[in-house]
């Protein structure tokens, strides 16, 4: 006899593993393509002021390009002088999130953002472990302000955290 509860858990695990895999593979693939096809030298592409590949220029004052940038620290290069400490802290945080995800009785709508955050964090840990730095590629310029360059993993982490914040906000308002 098949236990319905275990079937539901297996389906949930498959869904979470699917989203985890999509985020991690997309992150690794975009970084690989950036590493091997876009020069890290900002002056390599003479026709574009930031190097890299322009996606759109001056669209309502916004510019977007794919560049090859490296970051030895975390956001905005913080803790770049302590790469081993930062790597260990990232690993501990990932393990802590995985333990929380496994132990807490969370609904899928709360598990999914955690899985996306974990996948993004793991993508950056893979970079730091293999390359000694994180590869960033998305560069935006908003009306002359150069936003810090980021990658797919950073976007996944941001989206996961934002979704958790929004979920917790609506949960509190419905109580």
Residues taking part in catalysis: 136, 154
**Alpha carbon of 113 to those of 59, 106, 110, 159, 171: distances in Å?**
31, 11, 6, 8, 15
Write down the H helix ranges in 69-174. 83-103, 108-131, 152-174
Taking alpha carbons only, the member of 78, 82, 79, 70 closest to residue 35 is 70
How far is the C-alpha of 105 from the C-alpha of 85, rounded, in Å?
Answer: 31
Max distance between CA atoms of the chain, in angstroms, equals: 68
**Alpha carbon of 65 to those of 37, 38, 46, 144, 145: distances in Å?**
14, 11, 14, 14, 14
- Asked whether the beta carbons of 125 and 64 are under 8 A apart, the reply is no
């Amino acid at each position: 006899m098949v236990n319905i509860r275990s079937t539901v858990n297996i389906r949930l695990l498959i869904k979470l593993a699917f989203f985890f895999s999509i985020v991690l593979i997309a992150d690794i693939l975009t970084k690989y393509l950036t590493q091997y096809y876009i020069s890290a030298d900002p002056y390599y592409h003479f026709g574009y002021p930031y190097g890299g590949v322009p996606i759109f220029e001056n669209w309502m004052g916004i510019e977007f390009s794919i560049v090859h940038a490296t970051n030895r620290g975390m956001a905005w290069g913080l803790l770049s002088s302590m790469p081993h400490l930062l790597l260990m802290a990232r690993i501990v945080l990932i393990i802590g999130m995985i333990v929380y995800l496994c132990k807490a009785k969370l609904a899928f709508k709360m598990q999914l953002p955690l899985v996306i955050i974990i996948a993004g964090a793991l993508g950056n840990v893979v970079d730091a472990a293999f390359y000694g730095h994180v590869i960033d590629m998305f560069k935006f310029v908003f009306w002359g302000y150069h936003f810090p360059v980021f990658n797919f993993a950073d976007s996944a982490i941001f989206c996961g955290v934002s979704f958790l914040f929004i979920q917790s906000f609506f949960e509190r308002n419905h109580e």
